Amino acid sequence: MAGIKDYSTTNLNNTSLNGISVAEGMLPSQLNNAIRALMVNTRSWFNDSQWVEYGDGDGAYTAAYASATSFTIAGVDVTPIYHEGRRIKLTASTPGTIFGTISSSSFSTNTTINVTWDSGSLSNEAITNVYIGALSKTNNSLPAGVIATATLADGSVTTVKIAADAINGSKIADDSINSEHYVDASIDTQHIADLQITNAKLGADSVNGSKIADDSIDSEHYVDGSIDTQHIGNSQVTNAKLGADSVNGSKIANDSIDSEHYVDSSIDTNHIANSQITTSKIADDNITTSKILDANVTASKLATDSVVEAKIQNSAVTTNKINNDAVTIDKIADAVIVTNSD
């Protein structure tokens, strides 16, 4: 079908208008027909003006099948017009009218245009018409800022449409980001506000020794009675750590206190059980006259012939140290009696 696509950008080449001769010397009777044809072409283009049948850009053109996803424009380099990203509408017998987006174009004798079709594909047959979108992808006439929210289809702003670092805090609604949006291990120390790691946020047994700074745990952090024997180092309970009177009999193992633990002269009469000072505990010559109460050395306390002269201090046996009837004739040495007789 003839139309604007057949017009040339050179005046002298426009000699026919929908089959009506408009060459020099045309019949005056054809003028009104030519005007009418021009009006038809203009109206036909306007009815679908978002698509332009560019062809080769100057008069009639030849488009031919190359593959299911490509076609050629014969004899001219039109790659700047059929550029990547521009939309295509194509008509042919088998697919009918199909739409797609140019993925690439190249020139070598002919211009080859590769297309990603929305649906369908080309067959090896004649191509009727090729249209390009009125707006190019680059250097288009669309003013900045005219595409409003209402113009965008739901779901049309995909990840690839968003520039890197374009979404900042002002674009994100409050309380709208949850854990599914975080990359694992992406929340670092810098992005956690002070005092935000509370007890409820810690997993069971998640805080171990490697997470606690040296010298940072004091008594306020211990549960009463929580430090058991296993967690006290050997030799760490020193004298300074014991409260006054805190070590009683229940805390001392049997047979564990020997003489090195007693303070000199600390064992008093009150702490010696009755009958515990036996003969083997008394050093020889340690019981002097001053340690024996008057009249307490009776005949029953003396072994037969046990008090010899060497065990009695001079003048130590006085009248008040001898019980009545304790000194019998056999207890007095012969030399004493002789001396007294003299």
Is the pLDDT at 341 greater than 60? The verdict is no
Distance CA 125, CA 13 (A): 30
Give the pLDDT mean for 182-208.
Answer: 90
> Residue 166 pLDDT > 80, yes or no?
yes
Task: Quote the pLDDT of residue 337.
Answer: 63
Amino acid letter for position 2: A
pTM of the complete model: 0.49
pLDDT for residue 335:
64
Q: What is the pLDDT of residue 302?
A: 76
Cα dihedral 161→164→166→171 (10° resolution):
80
Is residue 264 included in any domain, yes or no?
A: no
Confidence of residue 311 (pLDDT cuts 50, 70, 90): confident
pLDDT band at 328 (very low <50, low <70, confident <90, very high): confident
35 and 95, same domain (yes or no): no
Same domain, 334 and 317: yes
Task: Give the domain extent around 321.
Answer: 279-341
| Inside any domain, residue 230 | no
Percent of the chain residues topping a pLDDT of 90:
40
* Residue that has been written with the tokens 């990840």 in this structure: 159
What number of other Cβ atoms are within 10 A of residue 51's Cβ? 17
Residue 62 contacts residue 74 (beta carbons within 8 Å): yes
Asked if the structure places residue 34 within a domain, the reply is: yes
With 80 as the cut, is the pLDDT of residue 323 above it? Answer: no
| Tens-digit pLDDT profile for residues 267-301 | 999 999 999 989 899 898 888 888 888 878 777 87
pLDDT recorded at residue 234: 94
What's the rounded Cα separation, in Å, for the pair 173 and 175?
Answer: 6
3-class state of residue 67 by DSSP = strand
Q: What is the mean pLDDT of residues 32-37?
A: 88
7 assigned to some structural domain: yes
In this predicted structure, what is the pLDDT of residue 1? Answer: 59
What DSSP line would sit under 231-257, residue for residue? GS-TT-S-GGGSPTT---GGGS-TT--
| Tens-digit pLDDT profile for residues 217-230 | 888 888 898 889 89
Q: What is the mean pLDDT of residues 3-32?
A: 84
Name 52's bridge partners.
132
- If you average pLDDT over residues 16-41, what whole number do you get? 87
Nearest to 123 by CA among 191, 49, 67: 67
Number of structural domains (the chain) is 3
* Close Cβ partners of 223 (under 8 Å, ≥ 6 residues apart): none
Instruction: Tell me, yes or no, whether 21 lies in a domain.
Output: yes
Helix or strand or coil: residue 11? helix
Q: Which of 115, 138, 161 is the last residue of a domain?
A: 138
Amino acid (one-letter) located at 284: D
